[in-house]
Structure formats: structure tokens, C-alpha cells
Amino acid sequence: MLSKRNKKLTSPNKVDARRIIVMTVLLCLVAATILAWGWFAEPGGSPGIPAIALLLLLIGGFFLWNAWRDVRRGLPIEDERSVLAKTRAGYYAFLVSIYFWLALGWFEEELPMTVGQAGGAAIAFGALVFFAAWVYFSRFADPAIRVRQ
């Protein structure tokens, strides 16, 4: 028989469980938006766009499944270190995105793409940098920015 304290420790966090459900819905919405964008941008649809949506669903699904497993074990999906990692990844993604946008503006006339496609590429690039930085700071490095004391 579990004590009251241990029951509390092993019971899934309802707030985290709700967050996972919301994130799953958002992931599906993003994938659906990418599919719709691909469909309307190119009549008849482009074969690359469904592949991007599928890839996003697979990667997002993997992380959501892991988060769900943690919640079922009684672990939180976020803590101070994971929030720090996300914040620092966002900081780098923002900085790198600024340079990407500048480069897009600079090579505007040489680029063989429409404004919509260039915007999509910039968003995808920012997301990629965020993802890479997030994985790095979550798994391999200290996400805290150290200052000399």
C-alpha cells in the first residue's frame, strides 16, 4: 500500500498531461497547415510538402511520446534546467534567424524563389536552429549563461 506522499509522487501530473494533449493538437494543426500551404501554393500539390509534414509529425510524435512516458512515471515534462535550455536555444535561433533574413534581403534578386517560399525557408531555418540548439543544451551542455563573479 502506497503512503499518501508516495501516491502523490507517482500520480501523473494532470497539468503536464493536459499540456501534452494541447501540444499534440497544435502539432496536428501545424502539419495540416503545412499540407494546406503546399496544396494551395502549387496546384495539385508538391511531393516535398507532405514529406515535411510527415517528418514533423514523426519527430514531434517521438518527443510527445517520451513526454507522455515521463508524465506516466510521475516526472515533470519541464523543470528549471529544461526551461533554461529552451530559452537559450530560442536566443540563438533568434540571432541566427536575423542573419538569415539579412542574407535573404541581400541576395533577393539572385534567389530562385518567391517571397512566400523565402519566408517559409527562413521560418524552417529558424526552427531547425532552435531544434539543434535545444537538443545540444538539453542533452550535452550547461544551458546557464555563466558570468564572471
Partner 1 sequence: MKNRIKELRARNNWTQEELARRVGVRRETIVFLEKGDYNPSLQLAHNVANALGTTIDSLFEFD
Site for partner 1 in 79-98 (CB under 8 A): 79-82
Supply the minimum distance, in Å, between the C-beta of residue 139 and partner 1: 7
Q: Which stretch binds partner 1 (CB under 8 A): 35-43, 57-65, 67-75, 97-105?
A: 67-75
Residue whose CB is less far from partner 1, 79 or 110: 79
Supply the minimum distance, in Å, between the C-beta of residue 9 and partner 1: 5
Contact 71, 20 (CB under 8 A): yes
Instruction: Decide: is 119 part of the binding site for partner 1 (CB under 8 A).
Output: no
Instruction: Decide: is 64 part of the binding site for partner 1 (CB under 8 A).
Output: no
Residues that bind partner 1 (CB under 8 A): 9-10, 70, 73-82, 138-139, 141-142, 144
